[in-house]
């Protein structure tokens, strides 16, 4: 859902001491993070990026929508035409792609390879359908699901963020049920983190990410 909104984590980040660390995980596979909108995915990986700026990076998606003011090509998105998107899709160039509101979005294999070549661990923030596609593509990654402590907490975070219309809140809560159902499939995710207390959830994420590869 990052595609709809790159979340602000300023309000919660002030609760943390700002420390930049230099360790690197030994497992450098991309990390796919999913979970319902408003659960705190962006907040959690935002903290990881803030503390390990040289280690992690968010995958830059392709989109056929036009840039919004302040967005630059290659930074916020790779802005492409529908024809170019379709051509890349036909060549099997995406690990996942989807359509929202008449526009196409996708994560290209080349983008992940380029970011990995820059010695970065790539984080993908995608919805459950995308996660299924990434898995089906045989792409080697680690899968993390961020769960809310309760449906009520999720609704209150979504409303508290102050970014959604009532219609959008309802749409996201409906989609949340689909995301939560996927989290119940045994083995679908490598790690499920309940984002109740932020610091505890962040530490769980960090611990998982830095867990030595088996």
Ligand X SMILES: Nc1ncnc2c1ncn2[C@@H]1O[C@H](COP(=O)(O)OP(=O)(O)OP(=O)(O)O)[C@@H](O)[C@H]1O
The reply to whether 189 sits near ligand X by the rule CB under 6 A is no
The reply to whether 173 sits near ligand X by the rule CB under 6 A is no
The reply to whether 170 sits near ligand X by the rule CB under 6 A is no
Comparing CA positions, the residue from 186, 162, 164 lying closest to residue 176 is 164
Stretch (H or E) spanning 167: helix 166-183
Write each residue from 114 to 133 as x if it is in contact with ligand X (CB under 6 A), else as -, in one continuous string: --------------------
The reply to whether 2 sits near ligand X by the rule CB under 6 A is yes
Closer residue to ligand X, CB minimum distance, 52 or 88: 52
Distances (CA, A) of 12 to 18, 44, 85, 138, 199: 12, 10, 37, 36, 10
Closer residue to ligand X, CB minimum distance, 121 or 127: 127
Least distance CB 84 / ligand X (angstroms): 26
The C-alpha atoms of residue 69 and residue 47 are separated, in whole angstroms, by 25
Strand partners, 123: 31, 58
Closer residue to ligand X, CB minimum distance, 4 or 93: 4
Pick the binder of ligand X from 98, 173, 194, 198 (CB under 6 A): 198
Closer residue to ligand X, CB minimum distance, 109 or 194: 194
The reply to whether 41 sits near ligand X by the rule CB under 6 A is yes
The reply to whether 61 sits near ligand X by the rule CB under 6 A is no
The reply to whether 11 sits near ligand X by the rule CB under 6 A is yes
Q: Which stretch binds ligand X (CB under 6 A): 76-84, 101-109, 154-162, 182-190?
A: 154-162
Across 78-109, b (16+ Cβ under 10 Å) vs e yields bbbeeeebeebeeeebbbbbbeeeeebbbbbb
Is the torsion defined by CA of 57, 62, 63, 69 positive or negative?
A: positive
Q: How many CB atoms lie within 10 A of CB 53?
A: 12
The reply to whether 1 sits near ligand X by the rule CB under 6 A is yes
Both structure tokens of 132: 């299924």
Q: Which residues bind ligand X (CB under 6 A)?
A: 1-2, 5, 7, 9, 11-12, 35, 37-43, 157, 160-161, 195, 198, 201
């Amino acid at each position: 859902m990052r595609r709809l909104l790159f979340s602000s984590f300023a309000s919660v980040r002030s609760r943390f001491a700002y420390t930049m660390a230099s360790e690197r995980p030994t497992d450098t596979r991309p990390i796919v993070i999913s979970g319902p909108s408003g659960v705190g995915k962006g907040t959690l990986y935002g903290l990881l990026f803030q503390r390990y700026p040289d280690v992690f990076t968010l995958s830059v998606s392709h989109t056929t929508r036009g840039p919004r003011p302040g967005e630059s090509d290659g930074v916020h998105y790779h802005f492409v035409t529908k024809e170019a998107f379709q051509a890349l899709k036909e060549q099997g160039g995406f690990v996942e792609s989807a359509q929202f509101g008449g526009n196409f979005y996708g994560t290209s294999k080349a983008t992940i390879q380029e970011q990995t070549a820059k010695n970065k661990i790539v984080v993908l923030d995608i919805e459950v359908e995308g996660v299924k596609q990434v898995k089906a593509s045989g792409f080697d990654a680690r899968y993390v699901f961020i769960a809310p402590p309760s449906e009520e907490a999720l609704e209150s975070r979504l409303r508290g963020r102050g970014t959604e219309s009532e219609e959008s809140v309802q749409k996201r809560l409906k989609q949340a049920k689909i995301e939560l159902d996927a989290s119940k499939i045994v083995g679908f995710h490598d790690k499920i983190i309940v984002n109740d207390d932020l610091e505890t959830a962040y530490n769980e994420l960090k611990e998982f990410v830095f867990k030595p590869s088996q």
